[in-house]
Amino acid sequence: MADRDFLAALEQGMMIAPTDTRLVAELPWNPHPAFAGVFLKHLLKGADTGGLFSSHLVRVDPGHEIGEHLHEGKYELHEVVAGKGVCLTMGQELQYLPGVSALMPPDIKHRIVAGDEGVWLLAKFMPALI
């Protein structure tokens, strides 16, 4: 599938930052501190951007979810790169499929539930999450 091809290319790609170049494959999958079955690769952190921006590859395994939460004072942009899921926010159920992007405004509760094959997305925060 084309979405899996893009995910494979992304995972074998690199993040070119002002201070260094990082091979995405060598970045660790970090377990989410609050939600089981959710993992993040930190592509860019606030230390790279003066705290203005961060970017993370997020994997939500099948049968798992990122439970309802919000980010105080932070915009979050979701860009779905592979798999399927739903995002529940602002009274809506958004279908998360490859190619879908959704902006979460600051202080808005949202929840992401993975489909049967899981879901992968780029989550970008302004200002930085970490």
Backbone angles phi, psi at 27, to 5 degrees: -75, 140
Predicted model pTM: 0.94
Residue ranges and CATH numbers for the domains of the chain are: 2-12+29-126 (2.60.120.10)
- The tokens describing 129, both together, are 């999450």
| Residues 103-120 pLDDT 10s | 999 999 999 999 999 999
| Residues 15-28 pLDDT 10s | 999 889 999 999 99
